[in-house]
Structure 1
């Protein structure tokens, strides 16, 4: 696999995280360094770990992951997106928790894991392409992690800016929910053969 192909693959894997980072920025509505760093580092971590896990498990689980990862990602993203849309039309009472809480570590780790499920299949592909040693995985994993870190970090700021300019009339939960549903549909559409 050439360097150009690895960079292209990294951008492709990072785009779901970028979109969810935008939704997170819309939810945050202002610069909050702790959640921003948690979001970017979580997406980076799971985009590095999942290809490695897929690569390690390639010989044990061959077709299992590839057949269901997109359905799992779609279901979770659609569920959260629909929940956010529904919540955006409800009147919030003081102290009520947000359905899309970009400052909650459990929520962020869950979203990072869900958006990186396709990276498991990429790891399996790496194993079948002849990357048989851990040293052959270092450069692709570094590129995937770097691109994901930069795009996720940037995505939060795009979301904050977008949230501050556009969502003054429409609730941030509504925009975040729509983005999650679109990402879920994209994951499903790109993985299901027609």
Structure 2
């Protein structure tokens, strides 16, 4: 169960990275495989580190959180999921970058798409999922999704990343609802 949940979290969290990498791949005109792997490395690394940060915060809150952990997990996943659905359904204006594949820009983009993973990391405490397992699964999933998105960049239409992001948001909300139900209605 914990691997399946980790994989679900990894897929949901990697949707932002997938969408961003499709846009990056569309701007790439040479040495696409090398750029795809480099971009995926940054996205996967950031996406693996942030759940560990969130998990640490969840542990620091300890017993205080034990009383409301299922509500915290539900509300965090609901908020992240709703934001992903909102972002996936609204039209975007993609800014033109002078050097879209510079290390600094890739790192900032990876950071921006990974912040929500810290909030999900808090829920790892609630779920009882080993943080190393979750971080590895999330990081590897994000690496693979980013590579695929980058390489598909020029081939995919502009709606695919947005649709995938909204779907990822729905998956996060479903995980949050499952946690809430298991700790309230189904716990008796």
Shorter-chain TM band: 0.5 to 0.7
Is 1:36 the counterpart of 2:36? The answer is yes
Equivalent position of 1:121 in the other structure: 119
Cα distance change on mapping 1:179 and 1:117 into 2, 3 Å: farther
Residues 96-117 of structure 1, C-alpha deviations (whole Å, 9 max, x = no match)? xx52743111111111111112
Q: Gapped runs of 5+ residues in structure 2?
A: 66-71, 174-188
Equivalent position of 2:93 in the other structure: 82
Is 1:107 the counterpart of 2:111? The answer is no
> C-alpha distance in 1, partners of 2:7/2:54?
19
Equivalent position of 2:144 in the other structure: 150
> C-alpha distance in 1, partners of 2:139/2:147?
12
Residues 115-159 of structure 1, C-alpha deviations (whole Å, 9 max, x = no match)? 11211111000122335xxxx222221111111111111111101
- Verify the 8 A CA contact 1:73 1:114 in the aligned structure 2: no
Cα distance change on mapping 1:8 and 1:72 into 2, 3 Å: closer
- Verify the 8 A CA contact 2:44 2:140 in the aligned structure 1: yes
Equivalent position of 1:58 in the other structure: 58
Cα distance change on mapping 1:100 and 1:150 into 2, 3 Å: farther
> C-alpha distance in 2, partners of 1:143/1:73?
20
Cα distance change on mapping 1:23 and 1:5 into 2, 3 Å: same
Cα distance change on mapping 1:35 and 1:126 into 2, 3 Å: same
Alignment of 1:133-172 (within 5 A): 136-160=130-154, 162=155
Is 1:27 the counterpart of 2:27? The answer is yes
State the TM-score, normalizing by the size of structure 2: 0.65
Cα distance change on mapping 1:83 and 1:144 into 2, 3 Å: closer
- Verify the 8 A CA contact 2:25 2:32 in the aligned structure 1: no
State the TM-score, normalizing by the size of structure 1: 0.63
